[in-house]
Amino acid sequence: MSIHRVRGILNINKIKIPALLSQSKNIYNAMSADKATYPKPNPPLATLLVQIQDLDTAQQAVKARAPGAVAARNAKRDVVFASLESEQAYVQSLADASPDRAPAIVTGAAMFVAKAPSTTKPVLQVELGVQPGTAILRANATTLVGKGVAKRPTFNWQLSVDGGKTWSIAPSTPRANTVIENLTPMTTYGFRVSATVANVPGEWSQPVSILVH
């Protein structure tokens, strides 16, 4: 059984200086408070603190409209952000080394756990076509047929206008997609698909509904 890799992220927009300062201070404070978990941060936390303080000072100069303050502030900002990215990489290495504790390691450093990417493709996807009264249907052939099937499948399509009580047959296709035309606008249709392999029909997918325009 594979284990999903927990990935830590900063979730910081470096253009937003107040938010950057706030989050950088949170990261500094969190890692400083748990040196047992984060024994060798990169850069050292003392260095990070000085960089944060320099940025804070530079931001105050921008507010005071000092000449050249924006360029100087932006340079300090880039330094802080680069250091935070380095700290994130360090925290990620700790999380990778202890996958059972990875979420706690990431959040303990005041960073965020990235959402796991969705790898499950729907069995059937339905979208409206360019022309009024058309719908484009795309089936997940791998899920319907399976991998390594020698026989070419035929994909069967059905549509319903009464919530699945009755189904009308659309033409079957050799490919896992089709376009259904001449649908009634402002009507909700349900669609479903199945695959026939070697003259053996498969089960119908769960219906997918869409309001046709």
Question: Are residues 175 and 138 in contact, defined by beta-carbon separation less than 8 angstroms?
Answer: no
SS (H, E, C) the chain: CCCCCCCEECCCCCCCHHHHHHHHHHHHHHHHCCCCCCCCCCCCHHHHHHHHHHHHHHHHHHHCCCCCHHHHHHHHHHHHHHHHHHHHHHHHHHHHHCHHHHHHHHHHCCCEECCCCCCCCCCEEEEECCCCCCEEEEECHHHHHCCCCCCCCEEEEEEECCCCCCCEEEEEECCCEEEECCCCCCEEEEEEEEEEECCEECCCCCCEEEEEC
Rounded mean pLDDT of 94-123? 87
Question: Are residues 27 and 62 in contact, defined by beta-carbon separation less than 8 angstroms?
Answer: no
Domain end call among 80, 113, 146: 113
Range of the domain at 150: 124-212
For residue 5, what pLDDT is reported?
Answer: 79
Read off φ and ψ for residue 191, nearest 5 degrees: -130, 150
For residue 4, what pLDDT is reported?
Answer: 62
What mean pLDDT, rounded, does the chain reach?
Answer: 92
At 116-161, the pLDDT tens digits run 665 568 999 999 999 999 999 999 998 898 776 667 899 999 999 9
Q: Do 40 and 96 fall into the same domain?
A: yes
Q: Do 108 and 21 fall into the same domain?
A: yes
Domain CATH number, residue 160: 2.60.40.10
Rounded to 5 degrees, what angle do the CA atoms 112, 60, 42 make? 40
**2 pLDDT band (50/70/90 cuts)?**
very low
Q: Do 205 and 143 fall into the same domain?
A: yes
Question: Are residues 202 and 196 in contact, defined by beta-carbon separation less than 8 angstroms?
Answer: yes
Q: Do 100 and 128 fall into the same domain?
A: no
Question: Are residues 210 and 127 in contact, defined by beta-carbon separation less than 8 angstroms?
Answer: yes
Q: Do 104 and 138 fall into the same domain?
A: no
Question: Are residues 9 and 88 in contact, defined by beta-carbon separation less than 8 angstroms?
Answer: yes
Q: Do 56 and 149 fall into the same domain?
A: no
1 lies in a domain? Answer: no
Domain end call among 91, 113, 135: 113
Q: Do 104 and 128 fall into the same domain?
A: no
Question: Are residues 91 and 70 in contact, defined by beta-carbon separation less than 8 angstroms?
Answer: no
24 lies in a domain? Answer: yes
At 41-82, the pLDDT tens digits run 999 999 999 999 999 999 999 999 999 999 999 999 999 999
Q: Do 108 and 143 fall into the same domain?
A: no
70 lies in a domain? Answer: yes
Question: Are residues 102 and 96 in contact, defined by beta-carbon separation less than 8 angstroms?
Answer: yes
Domain end call among 51, 85, 113: 113
Read off φ and ψ for residue 152, nearest 5 degrees: -75, 130
119 lies in a domain? Answer: no
Number of domains in the chain: 2
Q: Do 137 and 105 fall into the same domain?
A: no
